Amino acid sequence: MNRLPLLPLAAALAGLAALSPAFAAGPALPAVTVGAPAASGVYQADGQVEAVREARLAVPVAGRVTARPVNAGDRVSAGQLVAEIDGETAREAAAASAAQIAAAQAQLDVARREVERARALAAKQYLSAAALERAEAQYRSAAASARAQGASARAAGAQAGLYRLSAPFAGLVADTFANVGDLAQPGQPIAVVYDPAALRVTASVPASVESRVQAGGRFAIVVDGQRLVPSRVQWLPATDAVSQTRTLRLEVPAQTALAPGRFARVELPVSGAAGSSRLTVPQQAVVRRAELTAVYVLRAKGAPELRYVRLGDSLGSDVEVLAGLRAGERVVTTPEAAARRTGGH
């Protein structure tokens, strides 16, 4: 039985290996290593934009909405009418109380003149002391009745005012929840008004991270890749017993166009290593096909492989990767060249 020499066989295998795609793929593709943001000593937390001054306007009485002259997005001034509830009964009660005040005031005027006349007659010995006392008692009774009617009228006026909703401060109407003709229930919000000039971002930060925040360090708010320096930073004193987190509030600089409810990133200066495990890749490395996003990942032998990923927020020239990649993997930064290398796959 003839056997091939070992040396020529090894040479033949080496020749086949040289013709494989792993070796004949061409020059190495430019790539970056997937990792966390390079800003060491920065912890990033998710936050939400809130309005410092926000009012949910509701009536404490039931009634049908008769007027709502504002809509969502409208700018209102302090004291401007936002909505009105049918309060005919309350208005009639207020009018009746006003009439009763007028009657009580007239009786008080009569009693005052009577007691003045009685005192003058008593001073000339033309009126007995008992008659003077009766006149003074009638005057005190009339005065007390007038005060009671005044208090009742003020209460009726306040009740009538409950049917009108006015803006407590100048701002924007965030939303409305009732239309003209709807039946409003006590406590049901009809509109929300907020002040766009006073906004803040609120985030929950682990207590272990809060203890590592550097004193005097720079905090930042990141929204759509835009970095903002907060005008004020406040830690709420309580720690949540279940999640062991502290609430952090950062006031948004004035003249910043944001809306309540938007998500934002909060950057905290911490001591030690970077406090965030978020992964990022360059924007130019992302391949977008319809609604899917992907990147080319280099395998062990340097061949690119298309892998679908789920992306998060944009961070300037980088974008956050939520799923699909692991730290330490290498991503091609020229996806067009990688596509040609793999035949578009």
R_g over Cα of the chain: 39
Continuous H helices in the chain = 6-19, 21-24, 88-123, 129-161, 207-210, 335-342
Q: Which residues pair with 76 in a beta bridge?
A: 171
Q: Provide the pLDDT for residue 344.
A: 63
Q: Which residues pair with 315 in a beta bridge?
A: 318
Q: Provide the pLDDT for residue 164.
A: 84
Tokens representing 133 are 């006392």
Q: Provide the pLDDT for residue 255.
A: 79
Q: Strands 171-176, 318-323: parallel, antiparallel or unpaired by DSSP?
A: unpaired
Whole-model pTM over 0.75: no
DSSP state of 215: T
Angle 88-123/129-161 helices, nearest 10 degrees? 160
Q: Provide the pLDDT for residue 122.
A: 81
Q: Provide the pLDDT for residue 13.
A: 33
The residues, any chain, with a CB within 8 Å of residue 29's CB and separated by 6 or more, are 296, 298, 302, 304, 332, 334, 337, 338, 341
pLDDT tens-digit profile, the chain (345 residues)? 444 343 343 343 344 333 344 434 567 888 888 875 544 478 888 999 999 999 999 888 788 899 999 999 999 999 999 998 886 555 665 667 677 778 878 888 888 888 888 888 888 888 888 888 888 888 888 888 888 877 776 665 556 556 788 999 999 999 999 999 898 888 889 999 999 999 999 999 888 888 888 888 889 999 887 889 999 999 999 998 888 899 999 999 987 888 899 999 999 988 754 445 578 888 899 998 888 899 999 987 788 999 999 888 766 677 888 888 888 889 999 999 888 888 766
Which one, of 151, 152, 145, lies nearest residue 110 by Cα?
145
Q: What is the spatial distance between Cα 337 and Cα 21, in angstroms, rounded to a whole number?
A: 15
The residues, any chain, with a CB within 8 Å of residue 117's CB and separated by 6 or more, are 135
Q: What is the spatial distance between Cα 322 and Cα 313, in angstroms, rounded to a whole number?
A: 9
Tokens representing 303 are 């061949």
Tokens representing 322 are 């939520």
Q: How far is CA 121 from the centre of its chain?
A: 75
Q: Which residues pair with 206 in a beta bridge?
A: 245
Tokens representing 80 are 């401007």
Sequence letter at residue 213: V
Query: Checking phi first, is residue 58 left (phi over 0); if not, alpha (psi -120 to 50) or beta?
Result: beta
